[in-house]
Each structure stands twice: as structure tokens, then as C-alpha cells.
């Protein structure tokens, strides 16, 4: 795809009338409002032909509220791709949807719009109230792991999106947990009209560090793809998905797709010589000086293939033509260069480095050489040549804002990147994507030194996940550099450290979060473990209100490496002693395998004074499985919920403890109607009468009676109970 865009701003096309463009010579907010009013006027005469396409960063939180109410009525297609709307912008969109203004909308493109949980809460809530008849929904390149995916799946149904045919969720950082939520949607038959599902570049496997195993959800997805649940499905794109590289898992998945129960998926078209011939011509066009106006050059990864094909000789020659052109021709207007599809080699990078050294690409703001998954392409040699060229130039690379090298081996030369940063040769670099790039200990230590020097002050997004070769010592040095530096990473909003050895270093991670050196952090992608000292550090951070204020929910689990279970008392006591209680970033608490004392629960229950807000108002999910909870502790937990209502709590897991019917009855009796108003599931599996007074069937029958009594008293919602499927009590 080649994009030549001499004018930035919004492109409005009113078919069959005329094209309108918002030029940067006008003040954006006022011009948008005037254009919206004008288009609304024209819509009266041609109501069914309005389509709106916005260019990157042309609509933000300030522009959205006045624009959406005017543009959305009778709008068929709305693309907001690349526009960070912010919470206020999405709320404006949500209010327009809730008011029925989007009744005619058929295509909604929200790719790379910075969707967050708070924004999705408003948007999905509006869609539930006023269903959208969109046929195409694009959510790609948004970080949807955790609660955001839960919110989205709640509206992926006929009741909310009755006409949905195409769902695009490429590169959304989805892992097995999120994929399973989507699988449940498909398996229930909630999207009967779905024709295309694009989940390119997500992770269909999770590494379980505690057991040193890989967990794949490919099989579950395959089983959900049946003719009776997704009868219309014809296109499935999983290119670059983690988990497809394992031969055994891929073979099993493909065998499921070949089963007669699976809908007949269409085969992706083959990319022939014509594509490479086009690339050859492009290179020749640049060398001939015919593309001096080029602003954006993108050769994206092909999305049709399920698995990648080997490089062909035609591609190699065409690629050489393009990189030779970049090394020889001055392209003053080129601002974005994205070459994902080409998989640059060290040889290609030598040519690109020549172009940088000569100043051919001085205007470049975005350089994307990465791949969604895999590990290949250029490595130490190519990265060192590129950064060496930057260092040799007196002004460095002054305008470069984004560098993406994920899925390559560029991390082998990451130390040279750190050196360029330390020397001030990349003064505006704000996005650094080193995900799955073969980072080395040396590279991480040099980056730590750059942090210490304040060279990463402007970095907004830092992705270093899926680099398993980096040792703990290097990560400790990196975390200490953040904590010990004068300013830390003041503008950092997104930090990815998933699938690294940092996952077993919860104490170091908590020290970074509580240091005050990452005040702008919103998204932290890592599932980390906490030992005894880590839990103490977490408690201190809660007590001292030291977490970044806009930080999304953290994901952690208790370490099983020590001889004794981890005590969760420091966290409970910290919540009791904290003025505001549990912070929003800890809304999901998986405390499986820990130990809790009666005294700490009693302290939390007694910590609320008259008129105070509940200290558990942010709690959404609580797991106390295998925590040694007996009747006495369960009673104290009931007192906690009585004193501190949990209006957001949806699931409560109490499996594999030491609970009797009497203890459960006392727990339920302590609840108030507002204690657990939104709970959807309470799981008691594994608590079949520890004293052996009753058989399992009698125990389950009596438990069902207790729940019905609690329902009648209005203490919990109506629940369904099945003693044949003993996974818990599902509260409807």
C-alpha cells in the first residue's frame, strides 16, 4: 500500500457530491465544527451517501464533542483510525450512539484510537442501550488485554451488534485469557452473521512460568468454529499469531478446521510476482525522482495467509531495488516508512544506513521495520550500522518519534541504540518497540544507563516484552536505574515487559511503580509474581498511595517457589490503613495459594467509619482459592463485605478451602443487599464438608438451599445451581 498525502487533516467525501478537506491552515476545533455543520446541512439533501475518513491525530478529546452529534446522523461509515480520542472523546461518541444518532452507521473503524477500559465502559454501555447495526467493526492496534476485552465481549452478541459481519482485532495484545472470552462468544453462537474474523498478531499461547509450560488456546478456538455457531464464517486470519509456530498445536488446529462441523473457510489468495514487480517499479520510481512528494510509504504484512511462506527470489530483488533507492535519493517529505512485509536483512539495513548518513530521510518521524510475530530479519550488524549512521551525523535524527523493530533480531544491537539516545542523537524519540527482538543483557544495561542519564525523558511507549534471553541481573539494573534517576521516565504511558524474566521479579516491579518515577504510566503489560517481600512492598505502596494515578489494572499471582505460602496480610492491612482503600489498578486480585489471618480481616472490617466510602469500591474480581480459609475467616470476610460494599465485584472464588455449611450460612447472613450487588459467580468448589458430616450430594443440596434463602432475602441475585457441573454457583 502506497499513501501519498500532500495535505494533512480530515478528508470528507460526500458521494456523489464532492470531496472536502480540512487544511492545517485553519484552527482545527473551529474548522471541524463549521465543516460538521455544513455537512449536516448537505445531508438533508443526500442523507444516505455520507462517509467520513479522518487522518491520524486530526480528532482528539477537544474536537470530538462538538463534531459527533452533527456528523453521526445518517452516517454510513466512520473511520477514526489513528486518532487518540481520550476518555472524553469516546464519551462524546457514546452519548451520540445512546441518543440514536448512529442508527445508519454500517462501518466503525476505531483502529489505534487508544481504547482504554474507562472509554470502553462508556462506549459499550451506550451500545447495550442503543444497539448498532454496524457490519464492520475495526478495533485493531488497541491494547485490549484484561478488562477491555471483557467489556467488548459483553456487546459481541445479536442484542447489541445484530448485523456484525467483519470483526478486526489485529495486534491487540490478546493472550489466552482474552482469546478464550472471544471463543466463548463464538461457541455460544452470539455472532451468527460473522463472515470475517481477523486476529492477526495476537498470542494464542501463554507461558506458565511456575510450571515451565506453554498453555495454548488454539484447540478451544477450533472447537468453537462450528457450522451451528458461526454458520457464515468464511475468512479467518491468524497470521503471526503466537502458538501457531508449534508444529503439534498447529497440526491439531488445522485438523479441527478440516472437520465437517467447521464452516467452509475460503483460501487466501496467493501473492504472485506482480507484487514484487510493483515493488521493483516503486524503487525505480523513487530513483527516477518521480516521488519527491512521498509522505508515507507502507508495505504492510500480508494478512491473508495463516502461516508465512518462504522468501522468493523475486522479493529479494525487488526489496534491493527499494532500499537502494532509499540510500541514494533525498526524500524531504517522507514522514513515515513502514516496511513490515519486507523483513529487512542486515544487507538492506546497510543501504538504509547509507541513506540516513546522507540525510535522505531527515524528515522521517516513524520507522517501522518490525513484524507482528516471529524472530528473524536483521540483527546486530544491521542495527549497529543504522545507529552508527545516526551517531555520525552532527544533528543525529532530530525528527524521529517512533522506532519499531519487533520480531527482528535488532535487540542484539540494542546497546548502540542506547548509545545514540545517551548522546542526544534521537531527541524526539517517544515510541521504542523492541518487543521480541532478541534483546541482550548488554543492551538492557546500556538502556539502563541511558535512563540514568535522562536520555529517555520523552519516551511515551517502551515495549521490551518477549525477550527471554535477558537475565535477572540486567532487569534489576534497569529497574534500579528508573528508581535511582533524577526524573525517571516522566512521560511513559505504556510499558511492556511480558514474557521476560522480569515476571518473577515482582518486588522490583512494585518498587518502580511506587517510586514516583513513572507518574504518567497507564498501561503495564506483564503478569508478575509476588513473594513474601514483594507482598510487603505492595502493601506499602497501597498504604502510601504511590501508584501512578491513571494506571490500568495490574496482573499478578503469588509465588509458589517458597516453602511456605505467601501471607496476604500486608495487603489487607494496607487497604484498612489507607485513606482511599484499594486503588483502581488492583481491581483484580488473584490471591490463590496465599494465607490470610483473622486479625487482618478483622482490621479491614473495622476500618470503615460512618460516612466513609467503601475501601473495596474498586474491587472487580477476587480469588481466595486454596487460601486455608475456614469458617472463622469466612465469617470475618462476611464482616468485611458488610462494612465495605463491593459494587463492582463480579466474581468471587473460594474453592478448595475448609468451609462447612454452617460457615457458608453465617457468611451469607452477614451480607447486606448492597454488599455484593453485581456478583455473577460465587465458586465454592472443593468445600464439600471438611468435617465429613454430609455426603457430597447432600452438601451440594443444602448449599443450594442456603443460596435460595439468601436470594429470597435480597442478599444476592437469583442464581442457577447444578450439582452435575460443580464449578461453582453462577449468579445470574
* Mean pLDDT within 26-53: 43
Angle at 398 between CA 395 and CA 401, to 5 degrees: 155
- Name the pLDDT band for 249 (thresholds 50, 70, 90): low
Beta bridge partners of 621: 588, 651
CA 183, CA 109: separation in Å to the nearest integer? 22
Question: For the chain, what percent of residues have pLDDT higher than 90?
Answer: 53
CA pair distance 654, 392, nearest whole angstrom: 61
Look at residue 31 in the predicted model and tell me its pLDDT: 41
Chain-wide mean pLDDT for the chain? 82
Please state the rounded mean pLDDT for residues 559-569. 87
Residues 6+ positions from 692 with CB-CB distance below 8 Å: none
Angle, nearest 10°, between helix axes 380-392 and 346-357? 0
CA–CA dist 523, 510 (Å, integer): 14
Q: What are 481-511's pLDDT values in tens digits?
A: 999 999 999 999 999 999 999 999 999 999 9
Higher per-residue pLDDT: 485 or 221: 485
Chain centre distance of CA 206: 15
Show the cell assigned to 668: 451469607
Q: Which residues pair with 79 in a beta bridge?
A: 53, 109
Identify the bridge partners of residue 368 per DSSP, sorted by sequence position. 338, 404
Q: What is the dihedral of CA 528, 532, 536, 537, to 10 degrees?
A: -40
546 in Cβ contact with 513 (< 8 Å): yes
pLDDT tens digits along 160-174: 999 999 999 998 988
Structure confidence by residue, pLDDT tens digits, 187-214: 999 999 999 999 888 887 654 444 444 5
The helix/strand/coil state of 101 is: coil
pLDDT at position 320, please?
A: 87
Question: What is residue 236's DSSP assignment?
Answer: E
**3-state class (DSSP) for residue 213:** strand
**Mean pLDDT, rounded, for 553-580:** 91
What CA–CA distance (Å, rounded) separates 605 from 633?
12
Q: How far apart are CA 82 and CA 386, in angstroms?
A: 27
For residue range 388-435, what is the model confidence (pLDDT) as tens digits? 999 999 999 999 999 999 999 999 999 999 999 999 999 999 999 999
Q: Is 4 exposed, middle or buried (0-12, 13-18, 19+ CB in 10 A)?
A: exposed
**Strand 107-109 with 77-79, pairing:** parallel
Per-residue confidence (pLDDT) for residue 711, from 0 to 100: 80
Q: Select from 476, 485, 482, 477 the least CA-distant residue to 505.
A: 476
Of 85, 79, 82, which is closest to residue 62 (Cα–Cα)? 85
Is 38's pLDDT higher than 60?
no
* DSSP-derived secondary structure letter, 411: G
Q: Given pLDDT bands bounded at 50, 70 and 90, which one contains residue 27?
A: very low
pLDDT above 70: residue 37: no
Rounded Cα distance between 416 and 390, Å, is 10
pLDDT over 70 (residue 701): yes
Q: Percentage of the chain surpassing pLDDT 70?
A: 78
The band of 218, judged by pLDDT with boundaries at 50, 70 and 90, is: confident
Higher-confidence residue of 252 and 505: namely 505
Check pLDDT > 50 for residue 243.
Answer: yes
Q: Cβ of 210: how many Cβ atoms within 10 Å?
A: 14
> Which of 270-284, 505-519, 602-616 has the highest average model confidence (pLDDT)?
505-519
User: What share of residues in the chain are helix, strand, coil (percent, to 5)?
Assistant: 35, 15, 50
As a whole number of angstroms, the distance between CA 248 and CA 258 comes to: 16
pLDDT exceeds 90 at position 436:
yes
Longest dimension (CA), the chain: 89
3 state SS of 120:
helix
List domains and CATH numbers for the chain.
9-257 (3.80.10.10), 333-530 (3.80.10.10), 554-732 (3.80.10.10)
Residues 6+ apart with CB under 8 A from 648: 587, 617, 618, 619, 620, 678
Q: What is the pLDDT of residue 220?
A: 80
Q: In angstroms, rounded to a whole number, what is the distance separating the alpha carbons of residues 561 and 434?
A: 30
Residue 429's pLDDT is what? Answer: 98
pLDDT over 50 at 731, yes or no: no
What stretches of 478-519 adopt beta strand conformation (E)?
494-496
Burial classification of residue 619, based on how many CB atoms lie within 10 Å of its CB (0-12 exposed, 13-18 middle, 19 or more buried): buried
Distances (CA, A) of 639 to 249, 301, 302, 604, 652: 47, 56, 57, 9, 15
- Per-residue confidence at 247, pLDDT binned at 50, 70, 90? very low
The winner for highest mean pLDDT among 49-63, 303-317, 556-570, 573-587 is: 573-587
Instruction: Please state, in angstroms and rounded to a whole number, the distance separating the CA atoms of residues 97 and 106.
Output: 13
Task: Check if the beta carbon of residue 443 is closer than 8 Å to that of residue 411.
Answer: yes
CA distance 396 to 579: 49
The whole-number pLDDT of residue 591 equals 96
CA angle 296/300/301 to nearest 5° reads 170
**pLDDT number for residue 250:** 58
Could you tell me if 482 and 455 are in contact, meaning their C-beta atoms sit under 8 angstroms apart? no
Q: Which of 260-264, 275-279, 538-542, 710-714 has the lowest mean pLDDT?
A: 275-279
Q: Where are the alpha helices (DSSP H) in 21-74?
A: 28-43, 64-71
Q: How far apart are CA 255 and CA 221, in angstroms?
A: 12
More confident residue, 225 or 688: 225
Q: At what angle do helices 569-577 and 598-605 cross, to 10 degrees?
A: 20
Q: Which residue has the higher pLDDT, 55 or 518?
A: 518
- In which band, very low, low, confident or very high, does the pLDDT at 19 lie, cut at 50, 70 and 90? very low
Those residues whose C-beta lies under 8 Å from the C-beta of residue 697, and which sit 6 or more positions away, are: 723
Q: Measured between alpha carbons, how far is 677 from 645 in angstroms, rounded to an integer? A: 8
Nearest to 371 by CA among 315, 412, 410, 319: 410
Model pLDDT, residue 670 = 94
Higher pLDDT residue, 65 or 231?
Answer: 231
Q: What is the pLDDT of residue 540?
A: 95
Amino acid at each position: 500500500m502506497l499513501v501519498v498525502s500532500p495535505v494533512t487533516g480530515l478528508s470528507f467525501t460526500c458521494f456523489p457530491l464532492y470531496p472536502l478537506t480540512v487544511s492545517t491552515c485553519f484552527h482545527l476545533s473551529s474548522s471541524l465544527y463549521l465543516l460538521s455543520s455544513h455537512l449536516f446541512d448537505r445531508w438533508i439533501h443526500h442523507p444516505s451517501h455520507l462517509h467520513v475518513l479522518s487522518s491520524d491525530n486530526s480528532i482528539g478529546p477537544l474536537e470530538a464533542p462538538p463534531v459527533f452529534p452533527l456528523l453521526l446522523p445518517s452516517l454510513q461509515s466512520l473511520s477514526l483510525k489513528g486518532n487518540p480520542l481520550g476518555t472524553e472523546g469516546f464519551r462524546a461518541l457514546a452519548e451520540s450512539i445512546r441518543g440514536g444518532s448512529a442508527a445508519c452507521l454500517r462501518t466503525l473503524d476505531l483502529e489505534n484510537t487508544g481504547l482504554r477500559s474507562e472509554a470502553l465502559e462508556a462506549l459499550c454501555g451506550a451500545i447495550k442501550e442503543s444497539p448498532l447495526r454496524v457490519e464492520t467493526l475495526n478495533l485493531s492496534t488497541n491494547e485490549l488485554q484484561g478488562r477491555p476485552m471483557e467489556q467488548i465481549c459483553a456487546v459481541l452478541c445479536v442484542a447489541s451488534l445484530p448485523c456484525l459481519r467483519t470483526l478486526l482485532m489485529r495486534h491487540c495484545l490478546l493472550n489466552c485469557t482474552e482469546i478464550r472470552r472471544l471463543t466463548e462468544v463464538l461457541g455460544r453462537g452470539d455472532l451468527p452473521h460473522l463472515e470475517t474474523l481477523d486476529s492477526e498478531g495476537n498470542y494464542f499461547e501463554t507461558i506458565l512460568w511456575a510450571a515451565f509450560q506453554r498453555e495454548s488456546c488454539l484447540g478451544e478456538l477450533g472447537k468453537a468454529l462450528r457450522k451451528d455457531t458461526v454458520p457464515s464464517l468464511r475468512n479467518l486470519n491468524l497470521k503471526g499469531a503466537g502458538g501457531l509456530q508449534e508444529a503439534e498445536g498447529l497440526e491439531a488446529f488445522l485438523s479441527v478446521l478440516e472437520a465437517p462441523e467447521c464452516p467452509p473457510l475460503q483460501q487466501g489468495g496467493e501473492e504472485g510476482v506482480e507484487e514484487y514487480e510493483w515493488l521493483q517499479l516503486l524503487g525505480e520510481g523513487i530513483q527516477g525522482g518521480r516521488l519527491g512528494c512521498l509522505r508515507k510509504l507502507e508495505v504492510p504484512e500480508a494478512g491473508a495467509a495463516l502461516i508465512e511462506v518462504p522468501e522468493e527470489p523475486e522479493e529479494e530483488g525487488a526489496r534491493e531495488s527499494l532500499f537502494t533507492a532509499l540510500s541514494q535519493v533525498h526524500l524531504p517529505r517522507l514522514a513515515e516508512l513502514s516496511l513490515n512485509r519486507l523483513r529487512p536483512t542486515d544487507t538492506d539495513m546497510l543501504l538504509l544506513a547509507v541513506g540516513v548518513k546522507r540525510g535522505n530521510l531527515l524528515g522521517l518521524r516513524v520507522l517501522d521495520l518490525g513484524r507482528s510475530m516471529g524472530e528473524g530479519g536483521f540483527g546486530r550488524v544491521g542495527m549497529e550500522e543504522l545507529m552508527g549512521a545516526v551517531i555520525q551525523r552532527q544533528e543525529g535524527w532530530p525528527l524521529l518519534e517512533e522506532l519499531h523493530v519487533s520480531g527482528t533480531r535488532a535487540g542484539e544491537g540494542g546497546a548502540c541504540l542506547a548509545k545514540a539516545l545517551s548522546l542526544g542523537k534521537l531527541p524526539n524519540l517517544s515510541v521504542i518497540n523492541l518487543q521480541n527482538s532478541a534483546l541482550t543483557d548488554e543492551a538492557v544495561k546500556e538502556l539502563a544507563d541511558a535512563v540514568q542519564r535522562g536520555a529517555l525523558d520523552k519516551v511515551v511507549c517502551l515495549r521490551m516484552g518477549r525477550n527471554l534471553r535477558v537475565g535477572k541481573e540486567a532487569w534489576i539494573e534497569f529497574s534500579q536505574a528508573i528508581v535511582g534517576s533524577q526524573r525517571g521516565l516522566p512521560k511513559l504511558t505504556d510499558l511492556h515487559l511480558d514474557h521476560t524474566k522480569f515476571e518473577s521479579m515482582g518486588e522490583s516491579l512494585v518498587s518502580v511503580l511506587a517510586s514516583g518515577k513513572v507518574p504518567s504510566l497507564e498501561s503495564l503489560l506483564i503478569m508478575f509474581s509476588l513473594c513474601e517481600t514483594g507482598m510487603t512492598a505492595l502493601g506499602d505502596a497501597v498504604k502510601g498511595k504511590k501508584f501512578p494515578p491513571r494506571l490500568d489494572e495490574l496482573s499478578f499471582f503469588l509465588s509458589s517457589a517458597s516453602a511456605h505460602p505467601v501471607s496476604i496480610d500486608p495487603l489487607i492491612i494496607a487497604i484498612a490503613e489507607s485513606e482511599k482503600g484499594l486503588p483502581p489498578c488492583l481491581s483484580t486480585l488473584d490471591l490463590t495459594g496465599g494465607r490470610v489471618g483473622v486479625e487482618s480481616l478483622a482490621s479491614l472490617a473495622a476500618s470503615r467509619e460512618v460516612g466513609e466510602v467503601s475501601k473495596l469500591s474498586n474491587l472487580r474480581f477476587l480469588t481466595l482459592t486454596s487460601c486455608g480459609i475456614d469458617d472463622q475467616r469466612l465469617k470475618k470476610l462476611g464482616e468485611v463485605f458488610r462494612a465495605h460494599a463491593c459494587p463492582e465485584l463480579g466474581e468471587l472464588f473460594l474453592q478448595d478451602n475448609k468451609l462447612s455449611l454452617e460457615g457458608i450460612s453465617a457468611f451469607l447472613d452477614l451480607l447486606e443487599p448492597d454488599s455484593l450487588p453485581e456478583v455473577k459467580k460465587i465458586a465454592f468448589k472443593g468445600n464439600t464438608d471438611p468435617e465429613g458430616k454430609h455426603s457430597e450430594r447432600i452438601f451440594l443440596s443444602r448449599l443450594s438451599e442456603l443460596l435460595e434463602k439468601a436470594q429470597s432475602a435480597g442478599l444476592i441475585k437469583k442464581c442457577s445451581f447444578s450439582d452435575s457441573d460443580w464449578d461453582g454457583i453462577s449468579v445470574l
